[in-house]
Amino acid sequence: MEDYRIRVRFFIGIIAGVLVLLGLRLVQLQLVESQVYSGTSRDNAVRELRVQPARGVIYDRNGTLMVDNEPIYTVTVTPQYFEEDRIGLLADLLGVPDSVVVRKLQAARQWSPFRPSPLFQEVPFEVYSRLQENLYRLPGVSFEIRQKRRYQTAARAAHALGYIREISQRQLEAARSRGYRQGDLIGQTGLEKYYEDAMRGTMGSEFVLVNRFGREVMPFRNGLEDTPPLSGYDLYLTLDHRVQALAESLFVNKRGGAVAIDPQTGEILALVSKPDYDPDLFSRTVPPEVWTYLTSSPERPMFNRATMSGMPPGSTWKPFMALLALQEGLIRPTETVFCPGYHPLGRGRMFRCMHVHGAINVKQAIQHSCNTFFFEMMLRTDVNTFSDYAHRFGFGETAPTDLLEQAPGLIPDSAYFNRTYPRGWTVGYSINLGIGQGDMTVTPLQLANYVATIANGGTLHAPHLVRKLVRAETGEERRPDLPPPRPTGIRPEHFQLVREGMRLVMEQGTGAHLQIPNIPSGAKTGTAQNAGKDHSIFIMFAPFENPQIAIGIVVENAGFGGTAAGPIASFMAEQYLTGQIATTPQRRWLLNRTLNLRSDPIPGTEPTTDLAGD
């Protein structure tokens, strides 16, 4: 009996000791080390969900909504809770092969086994409904409501606006520290990329209780710890969507670029590059054949010709040469140069002019586009002075602007010629520069800013696409960080003389048929020599007094400047200044002719079908 009591006391002692140890451990976990383990315990029962902010929308200069957002459903998965034997069921409900689900699950698991990851985006509503009915059979599967871009006007402006797309693995590695996750959308090109940080907004979060199958049960603490998202900044552009849409329609079946600028501010009123693409393509999965066309077609629809395509400016360069010559004292305003139809170069060589102009002064040389006159101006200067003046107008350099894709073009100096022609070079190598030919290239953006500088009397503004950024929720407003305007240092009377010559081009010269009804303007036609059909080039500003728009246009393989590029510029200016196109017989004829004109195929290629349209 005594042995029995001893054994009972012994076992009671063991049980009491165990209970004491458990009690001490409980005290340690709940009180002493609560900060260490509370997070782990909470993660097992509480899920943090990201709440996407609304991406900033985009308005044109008149307040017209161009781009906003619409909701889309995204299927998410938390790999830790998902059961592998449900892959077939999920694939059937989504209407995709099992292998696709397996591949996406592997990517989600690599990202994080414990966090929801996007599995399928842009799920149609009927698929969303089917999945909702079967969620109880799919542990770890849930939904996020996301957004895609919606385009509201006829203007594509693809190369200006850019597009957003799911972040790539390479981009994710660089942006992870900024809060990006797999499946997030990010600006890839254009303004969407340049202003990504501002337009994206600030992510919000909400906490929900989940059961052991990973299904959401109820808000955690009634949402007291939730953080609302903060929408991104809205962009108010300098673009006029009506001028943009008109220019795009006039460029159908043509290759080239056009830029229109407000000469008083540098605001870009239109920016067109053709061929282009529909930015709405990137709001959904891009078909393989379309992606091949976008990236491999010789037409290069994703290449921004307005800011990247460089070619000699042809005779549109002649106003520049006149300004250089006048400012440097190489010629007086009333002085003449005799044009016999050519310019002698010695040893029986000559550079030809298109006509015999006789004695001709600065204004007349611009009006009649006399090659001989401008050959002579180039002979009277040197390539380093030429280069210095070109840079004053923004040539040979990229503009400090919100346009990410830019080419500086080529403006040669003596160092360039020494590098390029190490065996020596003579004046015969540089004389062509006087008429915008030879070893030089410029872009449509540079041409537009150059003629804007002529129009305003000598001030180079930074061309830009955004007027202001506004956060709608708070009213906070930001302005783009632009450099101050840059004077060219050329005397105002020289600009006035050159502008008068450009006015004569539109009244009595090669642009007379392009004059806007009742709106005087100034312009210069040009042609860039090419292996195939020449490129058509045109610069213009209007009205002549108090100019409000300046335009630079290049149409590839389309002939003379007054044939293809000129009419497009004329109609763009008319639309901007009057809000419509005149219905006179002459304007109707010119409009129909412009719409029907095509660029010749790229030499060595066959015409291709545009797969990137609506």
Largest Cα span, the chain: 143
Between CA 572 and CA 49 the distance in angstroms is 49
Q: Give the pLDDT confidence score for residue 515 in this predicted structure.
A: 95
Q: Give the pLDDT confidence score for residue 334 in this predicted structure.
A: 93
β pairing state of 164-166 and 256-261: unpaired
Task: Give the E-state strand segments of 492-533 in sequence order.
Answer: 522-528
E strand or H helix that includes residue 187? strand 185-187
Name the pTM for this structure: 0.85
Q: Which one-letter DSSP state was computed for residue 100?
A: H
pLDDT exceeds 70 at position 610:
no
CATH number listed for the domain at residues 241-596: 3.40.710.10
Of 70-84, 307-321, 408-422, 476-490, the range with the lowest mean pLDDT is 70-84
Interacting residues of 244 by C-beta distance below 8 A, sequence separation 6+: 60, 155, 157, 270, 271, 272
E strand or H helix that includes residue 191? helix 190-194
Interacting residues of 547 by C-beta distance below 8 A, sequence separation 6+: 263, 264, 452, 455, 456, 541
pLDDT exceeds 90 at position 140:
no
Class assignment of domain 47-85+106-211+221-237? Answer: alpha beta
Query: Could you read off the pLDDT of 97-131 as tens digits, one per residue?
Result: 989 989 988 988 888 887 888 888 788 888 888 88
Residue 608: pLDDT band (50, 70, 90) is low
**Percent of the chain surpassing pLDDT 90:** 60
Residue 609: pLDDT band (50, 70, 90) is low
Would residue 86 be called left, alpha or beta, if left means φ above 0 and alpha means ψ between -120 and 50 degrees? alpha
How do the domains of the chain map onto residue ranges? 47-85+106-211+221-237, 241-596
Query: Could you read off the pLDDT of 237-286 as tens digits, one per residue?
Result: 999 999 999 999 999 999 999 999 999 999 999 999 999 999 998 877 78
